[in-house]
Chain A
Amino acid sequence: MTEPLSRRRLLALGAAGAGGLALAGCDKLNGTPAFRSLLESAEDAHRGSQRLLGGGMLAPEFTVADLSPDFRANGSRTAAANAEWARHAANGFAQWQLRVDGLVLRPLDLSLERLRSLPQRTQITRHDCVEGWSAIGQWTGPQLGGILKAAGLLPAARYIVFHCADSFGGAAPYYESIDLLDAFHPQTILAHAMNGAPLGVAHGAPLRLRVERQLGYKQAKFVTRIEARSTLAGLHGGKGGFWEDRADYAWYAGI
């Protein structure tokens, strides 16, 4: 009977040892650049497969009955630390303008009134935070695609960057970016209204991006400038967004 027992003990010891080694090993692998870039290559697979299968398909839309009773405001709940934004906010954003520039034929300055006079899209969609929670809200605003057409993208333009007035944690200005396929998607709008009322400060007044097939951190709030670029390199941390730069979140947030 001693032989199977010692084997059993050996197996148990082996299992415990392997478990401990595996834990330490995972943390070590997590810090290994080659392994990380291998894991990161899955992001290309996510984007590639979803673009292949999804193309221009629409995100599900909901009804008024589905609205979250209390839509959680997350991230920056104000941009008051930005003096220019605070001045506009005090004035009801009457003199506020959205700048559209970069690789465009005709740079634009669009007032809130002008944005409201463009053809509008209203959609009830689900907002999914990367952390796991979801809230359903109704958004109204002009399609980004129409504004980009009015500005006239130059052939070299590949990315649309959203520069924001807020600075989460006071570190660096918030910004986000999307590719042209999402920029010209019919549900990609610049929302100035939420649940039938002007966009509140906590949700990014006066204007926020809605790019409905991606996670919450892509939905830039307090948008003040839209820039068309050929590359994301050389802009802030170079990864195309505030959280992408700061915490290594995936640039493509469709999953």
Chain B
Amino acid sequence: MTEPSELPSAEAALPRGGDRVRRHRLSTRLWHWTNLVVITVMLMSGLMIFNAHPRLYWGKFGANPDHAWLEVADHAGRGTLRIGSHAFDTTGLIGAATDAHGQVQAQAFPGWMTIPSTYSLADARLWHLAFAWLLALALAAYLLWSLANGHIRRDLHITRTEWSPRHILADVADHARLRFPTGAAALRYNVLQKLAYCGVLFGLIPLAIGTGLTMSPGFNAVAPWLLDLFGGRQSARSLHFLAALGLVVFVVVHLAMVVLAGPFNEVRSMVTGWYRLPAERKGSPRHEHPGHD
């Protein structure tokens, strides 16, 4: 095994496929595993809070007499999800599902998706609003730490070359063919990874926190401009739900990519920081695009 630092010349210093390399800093690893817990709790307790009023509105106000753009309802044991004017039968998953005791529960999200697993708005709020502090403080700490240690500049910053449609399309094509970077190229995030991570760090999580704060009547007095920014409290509630949905989509894609890229190596690198570079493919000449692979 060759340590990159022990290599003599700059050219030879590039690690090759099969080498064990330092990949994730402590800050990234701490943030990742904190998030596994915090985002899971926020999501599951959030679904229970949604269960208390499974309707979403646009605008400053919205209650039962008003038009909801999304609604989960139970019609005589049939679960229904309505989005706009489209209704879907979601019995068994959303709106009506059989619980662990074989009873059909008429609640929007079933107990296995929620914290706590049986209906309690008060307890879900207790979890959600306490873990919200962890999420906000962890995000702030991670972004400051990553600014200081160069993670944002070196690893997350999307260069002008990477922004070019040709480059992005080439990366999309690589992903579609499940053709992942090998050797030294696997040390760097590709542009789709960068877009996904930046979208979560600077998009979805701040949106979730901002819209969450906007739903607080006490915080509305402190920062009424947030209401204008998000188009009113009920719009903020809808956007909060959509931000959570976006995070779920990210997690699903993220887990799929980890499984495809080699789960043991990937998980180990997020635990210990050490990663074994995938071996270079033999025989097939590789198309090159600048700044990538």
Contact surface of A with B, Cβ cutoff 8 Å:
4, 7-8, 11, 22-23, 26-27, 30, 36, 38-43, 45-46, 50, 53-54, 57-60, 62, 66, 68-72, 126, 128-136, 212-215, 243, 247-250, 254-255
A254 x B216 contact (CB < 8 A): yes
**A131 touching B52 in the complex, CB below 8 Å, given contacts A22-B40, A68-B61, A69-B65:** yes
Contact of B6 with A by CB under 8 A: no
Set of chain A residues within 8 Å of B130, measured between Cβ atoms: 38-42
Contact of B152 with A by CB under 8 A: no
A11 to B262, CA, bound (A): 11
With both chains docked as a complex, state the minimum distance between the C-beta of A213 and any C-beta of chain B, in angstroms.
Answer: 5
Set of chain A residues within 8 Å of B262, measured between Cβ atoms: 4
- Range of interface residues on chain B? 35 or more
Contact of B148 with A by CB under 8 A: no
B220 x A60 contact (CB < 8 A): yes
With both chains docked as a complex, state the minimum distance between the C-beta of B237 and any C-beta of chain A, in angstroms.
Answer: 6
A36 x B227 contact (CB < 8 A): no
A214 to B218, CA, bound (A): 6
**A11 touching B61 in the complex, CB below 8 Å, given contacts A26-B115, A27-B117:** no
Given contacts A30-B123, A68-B63, A247-B122, 6 further A-B contacts (CB under 8 A): A11-B264, A50-B219, A50-B221, A62-B60, A126-B217, A250-B126
Contact surface of B with A, Cβ cutoff 8 Å:
40-41, 44, 49-50, 52-53, 55, 57, 60-66, 112, 115-117, 120-123, 125-127, 129-130, 132-133, 215-222, 224, 227, 233-234, 237, 259, 262-264, 267
Set of chain B residues within 8 Å of A135, measured between Cβ atoms: 61, 63
A45 to B129, CA, bound (A): 10
A41 to B133, CA, bound (A): 11
Set of chain A residues within 8 Å of B127, measured between Cβ atoms: 26, 30, 39
B129 x A70 contact (CB < 8 A): no
B64 x A133 contact (CB < 8 A): yes
Q: Interface centre among B41, B66, B217, by most A CB within 10 Å?
A: B217
B218 x A45 contact (CB < 8 A): no
Majority-rule SS of B interface residues: helix
B52 x A130 contact (CB < 8 A): yes
Set of chain B residues within 8 Å of A214, measured between Cβ atoms: 217-218
**A126 touching B61 in the complex, CB below 8 Å, given contacts A30-B123, A57-B221, A213-B218:** yes
With both chains docked as a complex, state the minimum distance between the C-beta of B107 and any C-beta of chain A, in angstroms.
Answer: 13
**A72 touching B64 in the complex, CB below 8 Å, given contacts A22-B40, A250-B125:** yes
**A58 touching B115 in the complex, CB below 8 Å, given contacts A46-B129, A134-B233:** no
B221 x A60 contact (CB < 8 A): yes
A249 to B224, CA, bound (A): 25
Set of chain B residues within 8 Å of A60, measured between Cβ atoms: 220-221, 224, 227
Set of chain A residues within 8 Å of B122, measured between Cβ atoms: 243, 247-250
A22 to B40, CA, bound (A): 10
**A134 touching B234 in the complex, CB below 8 Å, given contacts A23-B112, A23-B117, A250-B125:** yes
Query: Could you jot down 17 A-B contacts, CB within 8 Å?
Result: A26-B41, A30-B123, A40-B130, A54-B221, A59-B217, A60-B220, A68-B61, A70-B63, A126-B60, A126-B220, A130-B52, A131-B53, A214-B218, A247-B122, A249-B125, A250-B126, A255-B129
Set of chain A residues within 8 Å of B222, measured between Cβ atoms: 50, 53-54, 57
With both chains docked as a complex, state the minimum distance between the C-beta of B50 and any C-beta of chain A, in angstroms.
Answer: 7
A129 x B116 contact (CB < 8 A): no
**A215 touching B217 in the complex, CB below 8 Å, given contacts A27-B117, A66-B61, A132-B237:** yes
